[in-house]
Chain A
Amino acid sequence: MTLVCRNGRRDSLTIRARLLDPGEGLDAQGAVTVEDGIVTAVEAGPAAPASLVLAPAFVDPHVHLRTPGREDEETIASGTEAAAAGGYCAIVAMPNTEPVVDTASVLQALVERAREEALVPTGFTAAISKGQRGEELTEMAELAAAGALAFTDDGRPVASPQLMRRALAYSAVAGRPLALHCEEPTLTQGGHMHEGAVSAELGLGGWPSVAETLMVERDLALAAYEGRPLHLQHLSARGSVDAVRRARLAGVAVSAEASPHHLCATDERLRTLDPNLKMNPPLRTEDDRRALVEALLDGTIDCVGTDHAPHARQEKDVPFEEAPFGVTGLETAFAVLHTELVREGDVPLVTLLERMSAGPARALGLPVPRIAVGEPANLVLLDLDAGWTVREDRFRSRSANSWLLGRTLVGAVVKTVADGRVVFDA
């Protein structure tokens, strides 16, 4: 059992909309009937309002639930409510908590809490190294047995090539993939934003794109050498996606993720010095952003991960350099990507839906949500014409450190069905 949520009813309902499941080759007006949580009929039928689309619900490979340790910022309950509002039927939590998820007992306690609290099925990852210190491997096999979906030191890189090589080799025993935060730490020391013309002008310490690309290249080389699969988290730079493309051609089993903010925004926005634009990796140039969008289109980037990173208000309400890295994203991911990429004509809707659902599910070995008879209902109903303004008081998340506050977005989640239950109904 890799995904857990609180037990509940199984719902029955019928949804009428444009049915869109790229994986099933489904694109038709019609209705989906769900009985006791299972899809029992997918039928063509009379047109619903033209703006309504029913698609497989989203999967987020990269969420920080801040539990245990910082429940003031997010809990499993609040984080999964946010996920439900964002159209997600499954999310994967990162292990950089307090304490770090690096032993089976910490993980088991989390799984138990998720069984009581999680509105949306939630998977947990465990650390690659004890305490995420980058020194010794965690007991990966025991952690996998306790439910770890993947291993990651996310939030920081695995600096030592030797430890990374061992982790890659040993992950075969655990039978779970590694998810990597690629950053060469000696190149990002004192860094606060992308190194380029804007950082030069503002005086903020630079976080060069080569710091990411160098580590991506290293990890791809090690993965090729060890013959092990690899998942690369939150890529932000052109050089990194180029490296992934080359490695795939050479036969490396690599999946890659990009965040909504890296796909939609650039370092130019940092001129406002808004701490809600501070994230790791940082927003980069328009050229990098375009490379990410191209990679999303051609599948080099096979999934969108929000890197939802809640922070307490008092920690972000400080001068830029003092602020922690990270922004929230679960509740705005579809809307901002739809507004910025689909409506602008850069990415077809079907591609975005695939990269937010089947793509991440495959990357982390989770069941792929499908609109098909006999499948558990994992559905998201979207209104593509609905405009809404991102407001602090509307978040289900306990934190409001969104980079989109005040922005009006077009495209809204109307209903989310996760594992047969209606978990969000606008």
Chain B
Amino acid sequence: MSRELRRHVLGVGDLTRGDAERLLDTARALERTLDREVKKLPALRGRLVVNLFYEASTRTLASFELAAKRLSADTMTIRSSGSSVDKGESLRDTSLTLAAYDPDVVVVRHPQIGAAALVASATEAHVVNAGDGKHQHPTQALLDLFTIREALGRLEGVTVAIVGDVLHSRVARSLVEALLLVGAEPVLVAPPTLLPRGIEEMGCEATTSIEALADVDVVYVLRMQSERMQAGAAFVPSLREYTALYGITPERVRPGQLVMHPGPMNRGIEIDPRVADSGASLVTTQVRSGLVVRMAVLYDLLTAPGLHVAATALEVA
């Protein structure tokens, strides 16, 4: 894949299998540097990473900021509140304004689908989509792949049940695409009203039966968003019934299965605290993966592609 074509990471669809695997390898190399006493690498010194966040975020924003800093890049975070966005500035104009500072990477989180693509059309910088509405969240998918690969030692043929509110989840969409890309086997499990019509045409299985969990290597639990439960717009009759039918309880997790969750968790709703805090849970590992994978993405975008080059540069560092 040419450098021009992977200038942006707007969706998992922008990546080849080779790209994904290279990024995971780079992330592993970078992870080793986290054990050093001085964790900062000089690789991106003098580069500017702008985080443009139009939506609340804890771990994604924190990990992008820290990832950029660990690589010695300058960072700047623009939030929608307290900025010109409050004054009605359009996304294109904000992008053009930021472009005047010559950023190397713009990381965008926005509640609307296609926002990252729009920013990409208005800047010369590499654009990384950190979540656009219900559409894509590619670095989340990469960090999940990384977490699974580190835990199981492989991705090919790994079966992953993604359970919960698939309809409103960019995490589910990105992860399905990413798992298919690397030869793993996703199966979506959700109540019929939260399973988008036609989703199986992405090439995954989709079922309303929680029994499907029995056969998988990884149970990936999606956040049940309370705003989906507002009166008149409820997709399921009650959270209580949702939990009874689809909540991940210790009884539903087979020994040897791994449990993941993109956070933030609603303990007691989609995931039982006993599962969340058990040895099967990879939730905190995912957060750590998020840092190294985002370091890898920034590093890869701003240096010549290829693991060999990446590894060499890291040695020098």
Q: Which residues of A contact B (CB under 8 A)?
A: 189, 192, 195-206, 208, 273, 275, 314, 317-322
Contact = CB atoms under 8 A, between A and B. Distances in A.
B199 A319 contact: no
28 contacts: A195-B198, A196-B197, A196-B198, A197-B199, A197-B201, A197-B202, A199-B198, A200-B197, A201-B173, A201-B201, A201-B202, A203-B133, A203-B135, A203-B168, A203-B170, A206-B196, A206-B197, A208-B197, A275-B114, A317-B90, A319-B110, A319-B113, A319-B115, A320-B112, A320-B113, A321-B114, A321-B133, A322-B112
A203 B114 contact: no
Contacts of B118: 317-319
A321 B113 contact: yes
B6 interface: no
Contacts of B92: 317-318
A199 B133 contact: no
Given A273-B117, A321-B113, A200 B90 contact: no
The 5 residue pairs across chains A and B that have the minimum distance between CB atoms: A203-B134, A197-B198, A200-B196, A197-B201, A273-B114
Contacts of A197: 198-199, 201-202
Interface in B233-252: 233
Contacts of A201: 173, 198-199, 201-202
B130 to A, nearest CB: 14
A201 B136 CA distance: 9
B65 interface: no
A264 to B, nearest CB: 22
Contact of A204 (B90, B110, B113, B117): B113
Contacts of A195: 197-198
B180 to A, nearest CB: 11
Q: On chain B, which size bracket covers the interface?
A: 20 to 34
B235 to A, nearest CB: 11
A275 to B, nearest CB: 8
A321 B169 CA distance: 16
Contact of A202 (B90, B113, B197): B113
Contacts of A192: 113
A287 to B, nearest CB: 13
Contacts of B117: 273
B112 A202 contact: no
B229 to A, nearest CB: 15
B162 to A, nearest CB: 13
A201 B203 CA distance: 11
Contact of B112 (A198, A314, A319): A319
Residue from A189, A199, A200, A208 with most neighbouring chain B CB atoms (10 Å): A200
B29 interface: no
Contacts of A317: 90, 92, 118
Nearest to B176: A201
Given A318-B90, A319-B114, 13 more contacts: A195-B197, A200-B199, A200-B202, A201-B199, A202-B135, A203-B133, A203-B170, A204-B134, A206-B196, A206-B197, A319-B110, A319-B118, A321-B112
> Could you say which of A314, A319, A321 has the most chain B C-beta atoms within 10 Å of its C-beta?
A319
A316 B134 CA distance: 20
Contacts of B199: 197, 200-201
Q: Report which residue of B168, B170, B198 has the largest number of chain A beta carbons within 10 angstroms of its beta carbon.
A: B198
Contact of B201 (A200, A208, A319): A200
B132 interface: yes
Contacts of B134: 203-205
B91 interface: yes
A314 B202 contact: no
Contacts of A208: 197
B114 A200 contact: no
Nearest to B206: A200
Contacts of B110: 319
B173 A203 contact: yes
Contacts of A321: 112-114, 133
A391 B110 CA distance: 31
A112 to B, nearest CB: 36
B233 to A, nearest CB: 8
B231 to A, nearest CB: 14
Interface in B140-198: 168-170, 173, 196-198
A199 B173 CA distance: 11
Contacts of B136: 203
A319 B196 contact: no
Contacts of A189: 233
A299 B13 CA distance: 42
A201 B13 CA distance: 11
A177 to B, nearest CB: 35
Contacts of A205: 134
Contacts of A319: 91, 110, 112-115, 118, 132-133
Contacts of A318: 90-92, 118
B138 to A, nearest CB: 13
A83 to B, nearest CB: 31
Most buried by B among A196, A198, A201: A201
